[in-house]
Amino acid sequence: MVKLASLASIGLTTASFVLAQQTPGEKIIINAPGQPNLDDGISESGEKEPFNPRRYRKRKVQCFAWDRSTDPWTENLLDITWVDLNPEAKRTLLFVHGWPGLWSTWANQIEEFRHDYHLLVPDLRGFGWSSHPGDPENSGTIPDNVDDLVCLLEAAGVSQAVCVGHDWGAQICWQAARSRPDLFEAVAGASVPYLPAHGDFMPTEHLVPHFPKLAYQLYFAKKTKEAYEELEKDIRKTLRAIYRTSSTKPPAKFLTSTDNFLDAYEEGGLEERIPFFNKFEEDYLVKVYGVQGFKNTLSFYTHGGRYRSWEFAHNQGNHTIPQPALFINPAKDSVADWAKVSVIAGSAKFIPQLETLTLPTSHWPQLEMPAEFNEGLRKWLGKLPPVGSVNYTMAAAEESIGSEEENEHRHPKLAEGKIVDVDEKRREKAEEKAHEEL
């Protein structure tokens, strides 16, 4: 059974999209007609205009996904949307947002790199115009999002890309580079370091005593419905509470409650526009979050989502990222000391080509210090090998890790250089069960 998890099914479509027929197994790119998608933002007077997300058209591809809320699992077709710029450039940069972001939160990087690189800037599943199976507990894992990116690359006709992610987008990029080194030639992660899954799974409740500002994640995980309903009551207020600079830090008790998210702001303090954004950007963010709300964006925080993400990487076993890698560390992040987290996780041991750039910012270095962020990213990109000169495979990733002791628990097929989906056995069991019931 295949069901279409499309925004069109609930009457939410972008008027500029051209609808097309699809049969299962095909991927269809849906382009918006009209003007070319390369707007310099220069007015007729020659002055640079503020970034306006509404001036960018988007592309869409339909990708297969699993809805794990059913027994057996149900196949879905998801709409994954993205902005595609300068496709003639030699090297492709894939920018992956975090929570609660959208493609448009990469505005500073879009304007910086659009003339030198091919840019792919998607909305993740459940965000903006990209749909979701509707099951935040189990159907929006990190590997699921990596699959969406692979689907997008195929649709865009791209054989290799540099994955640049922020927040949860960084985790997606780290795992994309780890699991698909054949497609992702390099990786840059901002704010959250690579967290290898070689050890035991750590539930959120075990993390909070050590990192008190992660308590909100326990609220999202255990009271998901209450959480997204609270976030949706006043979307502008929610976004203004989260997007803070290092000089406009949130109240001390913000992020420390397991029962609410916004009570720390009950005395006000959210009257001003988000300092990172112009009016067009903030209004766009608020309006687009009103399309699907926050429910499916909380997939990253649910216990099932976190466990399945860890389980996939842990069982796959190839924890080393052999490609060039950059971690952009925000030194003034109020959530956690990510440099310390990186040391605890042993990130550098698994990334032989890791470089680190530290910026004195809050959780949003690409927004708070865009010039410095872009300069550091550009310098690092300039040191990468020529496009296509190095091909990283699963076998190469396997060899880069080293000792037999380290390799002892790896999946046997990894040595053959194959991509292994650990969900396959579950799918086979589900199919067998369904066949028996018939």
CA distances from 420 to 315, 318, 403, 411 (A): 10, 10, 21, 8
CA distances from 178 to 183, 419, 430 (A): 10, 11, 28
Contact 424, 411 (CB under 8 A): no
* Beta bridge partners of residue 120, listed in sequence order: 84, 94
Q: What is the pLDDT along the chain (438 residues), one digit of tens a residue?
A: 444 443 433 333 332 232 233 333 334 444 433 333 444 454 455 567 899 999 999 999 999 999 999 999 999 999 999 999 999 999 999 999 999 999 999 999 999 999 999 999 999 999 999 999 999 999 999 999 999 999 999 999 999 999 999 999 999 999 999 999 999 999 999 999 999 999 999 999 999 999 999 999 999 999 999 999 999 999 999 999 999 999 888 888 899 999 999 999 988 889 999 999 999 999 999 999 999 999 999 999 999 999 999 999 999 989 999 999 999 999 999 999 999 999 999 999 999 999 999 999 999 999 999 999 999 999 999 999 999 888 887 544 444 443 333 333 322 222 222 232 334 444 444 444 434 443
Model's pTM, two decimal places?
0.83
Identify the structural domains of the chain with CATH numbers, from first to last: 2-437 (3.40.50.1820)
Determine the Cα–Cα distance for residues 301 and 147; give it in Å rounded to an integer: 19
Cα dihedral 122/126/132/134 (nearest 10): 170
